[in-house]
Structure 1
Amino acid sequence: MDRLLEVNDLHVSFNTYSGEVQAVRGVNFHLNKGETLAIVGESGSGKSVTTKALMGLLPKPHGFIKQGSITFDNTDISKMKDKDLQKIRGKEIAMIFQDPMTSLNPTLKVGTQIMEGLIKHQGMGKADARNKAIELMNLVQIPNPEARMKQYPHQFSGGMRQRVVIAMALACNPRVLIADEPTTALDVTIQAQILDLMKDIQKKVNTSIIFITHDLGVVANIADRVAVMYAGKIVETGTVDEVFYNPKHPYTWGLLGSMPTLESDEEELFAIPGTPPDLIAPPKGDAFAARNRFALEIDFVEEPPMFKVSDTHYAATWLLHEDAPKIEPPASVKRRIESMDHSEEATRS
């Protein structure tokens, strides 16, 4: 497949009164044309900072790219000046944020806000921009778009506001759409509708999506590939099936084990002990070692490399070393994998 975006050895830091926070520490991944890549991890794992770096939205001067490259369409955009990035931001790479009210201006009509990008980036006249805005509102399944164009954000429900934000992001036919926890603030029913909508839109417009979430359950329904992040690093990456049904990193086991399922009401949810490390002074060795009950002595001394599981599946854990003891995922994780397998079979039948 054609690679549209490639991130190599990306390091992002923030200068604070307490010292330099190393929020992203050597991240590597790529995005193919027409696919959805999910980046998963706890709060503070670095996933949102990574995507803000892609968009050139790091708060300056405190946030900065320390090293690495972000290659989009054969150009390293990490070295671009802000005025040049503005030509890409919104037009080529667009972003959907978690809370739609932070993306919408409460004093402007919804139609005006959708039209703004069309007029600025596409050079459309007002009449054409209005027609295109109505078309976009139809695409994101907002009923009666002609009338709703004239309404303000507060007149929309949370789910409908998120649809407006998606329409705004799609206005300029971006080649990459970054969705940063776009369903977290919504209830479960509306969340499912938005996910279905994004899958449907991707088929229609063939955009590539980077989907940021802490919820592995969401990932199963929308992504082609998954990158699991912890303490500013990607610790496991693979196809959805590989990461869900053959997870190799103990952190991935923890995320899977903490997922509720319809068949798990009689047992307690698995909780990952402890808290993420302080990234002002990252720990020596594997950053997850202190929270990992399967940690080996070497985990506290030396950082594990990315071990190859298959051509598409890699994980950074010493448990994959040929001399490591053979340790299986906990029983609770296996039960969740089995229950997901059964759910998928039921869906197919």
Structure 2
Amino acid sequence: MVEKVLEVKDLKINFNTYGGKVQAIRDISFDLYKGETLAIVGESGSGKSVTTRAIMGLLANNSEIEQGSITFKGQNLIGLTEHEWTKIRGFDIAMIFQDPMTSLDPTMKIGQQIAEPLIKHRGLSKKQAWAKALDMMKLVGIPNAEAHIKDYPHQFSGGMRQRIVIAIALIANPTILIADEPTTALDVTIQAQILHIMKKLQAEIDTSIIFITHDLGVVAGIANRVAVMYAGQIVEIGTTDEVFNFPQHPYTWGLLNSMPTIETEKGELEAIPGTPPDLLEPPKGDPFAARNKFALEVDEKMKPPFFKLSDTHFAATWLLDERAPEVEPPLEVRKRWAKYQAKHPEADRRKAVAVEFNAVLGSEDNL
């Protein structure tokens, strides 16, 4: 039995603006298990970062959590005071932010910034904390760490600054690490090094990671499970193998069909047409219907339930309903299906069963 470390259930988050109420997160549920990496993917504006900022208690002042719960160690994090959050944030739950330059204090020495969580949360002396900060700098691959521990952020390159941000997030051995597009601004060589460091440290301290990204190539190399978000909702969730090689939602098809692989031939990539819906007035039915060439009449009228394809794989699309017509997904998706079904003969989308929309979308099985 794998331990569940986080449960997000029926979460709805709005933002009050001059233009009206933006329904940014619309009824999402998922679990996170000990030692696993859950990737949340989707276009900009799909709700990935809002979800994780709610888990960190860092939502903007104009936000409103309409309903739902975020349970960590048996405690609902929604409604905690800032004083209560200071005991959790940076200690039990830590975050790697997108831009390392704006995440670091330009007036503080690097060693001080890495050591601060240990002084604040673990009560270590400055000498003890700085010694551990030096060890962590070496662990994340900063060369000649002894000579650079008293340097300032501007004296480091972008890749080195990102390593420092990772060191700060992991120094207190958090139960949960949230990585919000931590490799977006880095070149592919440094990106690979950063991902290797994260996986290595995760194995050593057994932390659970929520990895936010729009880069499916990164997801394939780091995640155990993948949740695909669109317009503030999770539309598909499953193991990385299931979502990448047996995808069922047309939005997931579009994401994969726009991503090159070593087998991609010239002219095969396609962009998803159109733009995401306005969340001031979200669609009544499937939010992806307006951009979906496979959309059915029911997609305009009713939000699809989740259909269960396996104990770990769920997708919210009417195409899985037994009454839906057979459609032919893009060639790249059909190739993935063929390879997956050759290895998993039991996989059959026609046997998908509708389940309660707000069912907890996760299973400790097969992690």
TM-score grouping bracket, smaller chain normalisation: over 0.9
- Deviation by residue 1:258-283 (Cα, 9 ceiling, x = unmatched): 10223325124211010000000001
Task: Provide the rounded CA distance (Å) in 2 between the counterparts of 1:188 and 1:113.
Answer: 27
Counterpart in the other structure of 1:284? 284
Using the size of structure 1 for normalisation, the TM-score is: 0.95
Residues 1-349 of structure 1 correspond to what in structure 2 (within 5 A)?
Answer: 1-60=2-61, 62-264=62-264, 266-335=266-335
Contact persistence 2:48–2:229 (CA under 8 A): yes
**Structure 2: distance between partners of 1:276 and 1:338:** 30
Tell me which residue corresponds to 2:349: none
Please give the secondary structure, in 2, of the residue aligned with 1:84. helix
Moved more, 97-106 or 331-340: 331-340
Q: Which amino acid aligns with 2:81?
A: K
Q: Distance in 2 between matches of 1:163 and 1:226?
A: 24
In 1: Cα distance, 2:180 partner to 2:77 partner: 20
The superposition leaves residues 195-234 of structure 1 with CA deviations (integer Å, 9 ceiling, x where unpaired) of: 1111111111110000000111110000000000000000
Q: CA deviation at 1:332?
A: 3.4
| CA distance in structure 2 between the partners assigned to 1:336 and 1:3 by the alignment | 31
Aligned partners of 1:29, 1:212: CA distance in 2, in Å?
Answer: 14
Shift of 1:338: 7.8
Q: Kindly state the Cα deviation for residue 145 of structure 1 after the two structures are TM-superposed.
A: 1.2
Letter in 2 for 1:13: N
Q: In 1, are the aligned partners of 2:179 and 2:211 still within 8 Å (CA)?
A: yes
Contact 1:40 1:229 in 2 (8 A): yes
Deviation (angstroms), 1:65: 1.2
Q: Paired residue for 1:344?
A: none
Matched letter for residue 106 of structure 1: P
Decide whether the 8 Å contact of 2:245 with 2:336 is kept in 1: no
Confirm or deny: 8 A CA contact 1:244 1:337 kept in the other structure.
no
Unaligned runs of 5+ in 2: 342-367
Assess, with a 3 A threshold, how the Cα gap between structure 1 residues 191 and 105 changes in structure 2: closer, same or farther.
same
- In 2, Cα distance between the equivalents of 1:258 and 1:87? 42
How many angstroms apart in 2 are the aligned matches of 1:265 and 1:161? 37
Task: Indicate the SS of the match to 2:138.
Answer: helix
Runs of at least 4 residues off by over 3 Å: 332-341
Contact 1:263/1:339, CA 8 A, preserved across alignment: no
Task: State the Cα RMSD in Å.
Answer: 1.5
More helix by share: 1
Contact 1:13-1:65 within 8 A present in 2 as well: yes
Residue type at the aligned position of 1:207: T
**% identical equivalent positions:** 66
**Are the equivalent residues in 2 in contact too, given 1:257–1:336 (CA < 8 A)?**
no
Counterpart code for 2:136: L
Amino acid at match of 2:186: L
Please name the residue that 2:362 is paired with.
none
Are the aligned partners of 1:224 and 1:240 in contact in 2 as well (CA < 8 Å)?
A: yes
Q: Deviations over 1:54-106 (max 9, x none)?
A: 0010011x012111000001111112122111110001000000110111011
Q: Which runs of 5+ in 1 are unaligned?
A: 342-349
